[in-house]
Structure 1
């Protein structure tokens, strides 16, 4: 594997440190960087560029990757190897033989390096708002960091092999203020790598199983989900599974639901953490932020209210989702639901609206091509289910009057939704206020399938027929825009490519509609594509090629859920 083909970030459970190229950034994708993913995806987080050196001569290398160890193999004919592993979630260890390593710091204003009496060095990165300790374990460590006015002019770290043993061993540990020794560094490198391998193996054993024909995809999905979890810190009150450690280094307020669902069977506590983490930051108005990372939350938009639908799935694991857990989440879910009904219905017609495509999760869907706000049937469908779930929870908690009120509200919204959006042949989207119908060939108009047999039989039949025959279903799965549409683009984000979440929503809706055979066929096509093309952010609907970020957790989670469904059929 060449460096530029390394699409999976090398990291581990709990860590904010990553080794990867910088695809899509203004840096050379042929190089590897040690990165730091605190603070989200507005910065690439590059700390050090990694180079192999023999003396002062730089050596090209290729990458050999495994979940527990990353090998950099010299391509000058020597086949000398430098290996990297995580001794802990805050420390990267680097070891080599017959070849050295050079780390060039990516610096900003005021960044400097400071030597300590124990032969370690601290690099204080104002750019990353963290400190990094360089720890020599074996070999010759040299740091070049000439101080000029108020910062180090540059910072380079050379670690060369010991002249006798011909090997070097060093570590890089991150911290905010006070350095704490990583006792795992007292063990041999191999023991550190083996511990990481054992941790990953335990995770993989707790991952939903899939048919053996998709084993390659299972290995990939297991690694991506394991390695993308970061430990609680700052605004992240619980362990959080990021969408990726490439560049989508946040969690979004519907993505987390799919990850929770994939974890619920074997890791219910972690699943519950994923589900609840956005409610920990809920605004007094009831709104949830669009996304979160350890340092900040974005409130400019939101994501659709699929949380009732998700909670219904989590409640199947009744051994963990106890009455106590339901009591914990009931009021936050009430506030989230009321927020949509109170603050996203400007024309007061009882039908909630999206103020921007990003609010829907279908950012640039063609239902928004004439502008916003837009009333869309998927939003009402999500709220019908969410209100119904609130009725069920209220009943379990002994709030019988509230349960009755919620059930009546769910039925009322369902009736309004059908009257408002169904034109006799299909569901439509409309401009809020004028109720102008928006012409669109987007799959989002089929999402009411999640209501299943709550819909009248003639409507349900038509929705199922559209999935079967209208043209959304390709060899690889469900396109998000009809390929025949004038707006269709192979890499058009929500105007064509196949996405994991929408696939799962439709599959779930088909099962709820009594169309399990069709649901399983769609699941099979998606899993085959993902196992072949990788767990990408989305996929070319006609070729199955992976698009955008190549290592995405909600794709991995949906692959595992659908693959497990195929195993249980």
Structure 2
């Protein structure tokens, strides 16, 4: 596996510790840094790890496999490996080791306990490190300013082995849910990933590593084994990325179920889901789009969802749907609306440029799909009356969507509570293709033609804003770059509607670009270059799903 430590962190399944060549919120570091992903990683840096030679500390050349990170300096190397999710072994193989940190907070303290043991209280990171010498010898060169350790320095001679163990302070009110399985070591995890064909072997391995290494064990509000977005900066679990990650775990249904239910554990009494969660915090300021019914239906079709999973999800999914139909629908004659771009997941889309709230066609379409999924689930679970009610609601919303927002050749956006239409060239208004053959044939064909045009489809995939739009920005977040979730939704909708050829072209373009540019948060639609966070779990998941199921029109 070839990966750059400036982009892809070295970590292990279950761990809240990661090593990378990043500092702060995105700057590249010359040195390897041990970081935490706890509490949303507001203060992520814990320690710099440097080889120590006769000439002093050296940044070294870092490379890693899933099992070991090596920082080479001269003829020796500092070798780092995870012994378990909370404990790391750091070995000076032919070189010394320097552990260094500048105090990031007012109370950071290194406490010497004697016999080669220290406690490092990293206050703002909400973490305490237990550092012990297991072989060789080490000494502290740290400073104390009367309140804190202004500079932490631990130096180990060649041959020294440090054990660094995390003693996390994070806690929450939820009891951990039994995992029902054990996350395998990476080689076995890789074997359980979908087959992506010989040309994508390297990309498949990198995608598997990003997924495996981004997993954290239950702690605090994360009461299940949970795949974060990243162990770089986006160290939370948002309430729609979990669905894409679940869908890629076809051969580990128990782990897929934990990803799916992770956000429903935090559902409010009225049905609302959180925007995001981490081990120490959950936010309800925004929500995320209702893709959960779509994801459940697709996983049912692929055999991931057994009847117990279906039964457990039915009531929470029903409450989530009713929340949109009551809390975010002004009248029976209106469509549901978003309060903010963040509610849609397309944070700064031009759909929201002229104000909020908005009736956006993607929201109504996703709710139709979700109510269809609930109807099928109710029928399977022996609730025929509820199945009929969900079908009636779905038909009514589909009719309103076409009546209020279809203009003969395109869907439009309306400011909620008014007849005012919003001008936008966002791909978001093409997401109703997710309805597939539930759409009238002429509507589906017009959407497919538009999606496949040069306005959106580039050699790198689907731009999220028309490349001809004056609002297009190559690094504009949801105003241009190619994203995995939008690609997945549209490819699936095209397939469901019978245009597997176009779906295959889009999937192929996306997968080839990911194979070139890595598992980035998003991609420049014209150059294909990876942007922002470069080790994103839903990019990995969508790549695995598209490459194995949709590329070349095979779905």
TM-score, length basis structure 2 = 0.93
Other-structure match for 2:108 = 111
CA distance in 2, matches of 1:346, 1:7: 45
- CA-to-aligned-CA distance 1:283-302 (integer Å, 9 cap, x gap): 11211111110000111111
Secondary structure of the 2:354 match is coil
Cα 1:307/1:205, change in 2 over 3 Å: same
Other-structure match for 1:164 = none
CA distance in 2, matches of 1:538, 1:505: 15
Other-structure match for 1:84 = 80
User: Does the aligned pair in 2 maintain the 1:3–1:21 contact within 8 Å?
Assistant: no
The correspondence for 1:324, drawn from 308, 320, 331, is 308
User: Does the aligned pair in 1 maintain the 2:351–2:413 contact within 8 Å?
Assistant: yes
User: Does the aligned pair in 2 maintain the 1:3–1:31 contact within 8 Å?
Assistant: no
Query: C-alpha root-mean-square deviation of aligned residues, in Å?
Result: 2.1
**5 Å matches for 1:236-315?**
236-263=222-249, 265-315=250-300
User: Does the aligned pair in 2 maintain the 1:13–1:227 contact within 8 Å?
Assistant: yes
User: Does the aligned pair in 2 maintain the 1:228–1:243 contact within 8 Å?
Assistant: yes
Secondary structure of the 1:68 match is coil
Shift in Å, 1:225: 0.4
Secondary structure of the 1:233 match is coil
1:129 aligns with 2:163: no
- CA-to-aligned-CA distance 1:492-518 (integer Å, 9 cap, x gap): 110111001111111101111111111
- CA-to-aligned-CA distance 1:3-33 (integer Å, 9 cap, x gap): 9863110001000001012256386622221
Other-structure match for 2:180 = none
How many residue pairs end up in the alignment? 540
Other-structure match for 2:360 = 376
Give the gaps of 5 or more residues in structure 2: 171-182
1:138 aligns with 2:122: no
Secondary structure of the 1:482 match is coil
- CA-to-aligned-CA distance 1:189-240 (integer Å, 9 cap, x gap): xxxxxxxx98110110011110211112111101100100000110011000
CA distance in 1, matches of 2:253, 2:157: 46
Other-structure match for 1:199 = 185
Other-structure match for 1:389 = 373
CA distance in 2, matches of 1:229, 1:3: 18
**5 Å matches for 1:135-174?**
135-161=132-158, 167-174=159-166
**5 Å matches for 1:212-223?**
212-223=198-209
Secondary structure of the 1:334 match is helix
Shift in Å, 1:160: 1.2
User: Does the aligned pair in 1 maintain the 2:338–2:358 contact within 8 Å?
Assistant: yes
Moved more, 296-305 or 49-58: 49-58
User: Does the aligned pair in 2 maintain the 1:38–1:294 contact within 8 Å?
Assistant: yes
User: Does the aligned pair in 2 maintain the 1:228–1:553 contact within 8 Å?
Assistant: yes
Other-structure match for 1:479 = 463
Cα 1:198/1:143, change in 2 over 3 Å: farther
Cα 1:289/1:457, change in 2 over 3 Å: same
Other-structure match for 1:535 = 519
- CA-to-aligned-CA distance 1:509-562 (integer Å, 9 cap, x gap): 111111111111111111000000101000010111111111101000000001
User: Does the aligned pair in 2 maintain the 1:535–1:553 contact within 8 Å?
Assistant: yes
1:94 aligns with 2:90: yes
User: Does the aligned pair in 1 maintain the 2:116–2:137 contact within 8 Å?
Assistant: no
Secondary structure of the 2:462 match is coil
Secondary structure of the 2:273 match is coil
- CA-to-aligned-CA distance 1:134-166 (integer Å, 9 cap, x gap): 1111121112345443433432111112xxxxx
CA distance in 2, matches of 1:2, 1:149: 46
Other-structure match for 1:176 = 168
